[in-house]
Amino acid sequence: MLLPDLRAQICEANRALVPAGLVRLTWGNVSGVDRASGLWGIKPSGVDYGVLRPEDIVLLDLEGKVVEGHLRPSSDTKTHLHLYRELTEIGGITHTHSLYATLFSQAGRELPCYGTTHADHFHGTVPVVRALTPQEVAQDYEHFTGVAIVERLRELGLSPLEMPAILQQHHAPFAFGKNAMDSVNNSIALEMCAQMALGSLSLNPSLGPIPEHILEKHHLRKHGPGAYYGQVGAH
């Protein structure tokens, strides 16, 4: 079996979606890439998380060809493929239909940074990605979902590791990370921030975003060359 460690990591990350409260039924998938080999793996389509095994993870190359795997890969495979090809700094992707982040996605509403919890994980407002055109949906829906995500990040000049999540209009969120489990953690953070934002807006409908100096302080104490959160050498 090729890349057993990568497959085990991807399997563990997918199985983490249910206890994290991010999925119902099989509404979600996690993938991870091994840049050295040029291979990546993703959850097979429609397989229940509780029975998922490392050997079930489907391995593909960066041309989208299945290299090893006995099951059909996720229906979102072409989206993940385009993201890995274009966003070379990322090592993992999580796509779910988690409740609160999906509410923002379906409403076509970006997620502003209202507090420090959000600032710790996302460097400002989590953006909304445009709806796909009829032509894009007809031609290759999953591929153009990836195209639209990359397009939006580049329009805004955003790094996918500083802004490791987006909200696909009419659809649901995607989160990115340095590896598969890191992308799951960013998906958890996104869901919590979306829930807190909705609650905060219900308490204060005229709420404005967090002051810029507080946002920057909280984000940069965890990220970048001057970060001092956590332990030296910890992973």
pTM reported for the whole predicted model: 0.92
CB 15 within 8 A of CB 49: yes
Q: Which residues fall within 8 angstroms of residue 220, CB to CB, at 6 or more apart?
A: 226, 227
Q: What is the DSSP letter of 125?
A: P
Poorest-pLDDT segment among 54-58, 183-187, 227-231: 227-231
Q: In this predicted structure, what is the pLDDT of residue 232? A: 59
Which carries the bigger pLDDT value, residue 117 or residue 152? 152
Rounded to the nearest 10 degrees, the angle between the axes of helix 77-86 and helix 134-155 is 30
Comparing C-alpha atoms, which of 160, 152, 166 is closest to residue 33?
A: 160
C-alpha span between 22 and 1 (Å, rounded): 29
pLDDT at 17: 97
Main-chain phi, psi angles of 139, to 5 degrees: -75, -50
- Give the domains, in start order, of the chain with CATH numbers: 4-220 (3.40.225.10)
Residues acting as catalytic residues: 120, 229
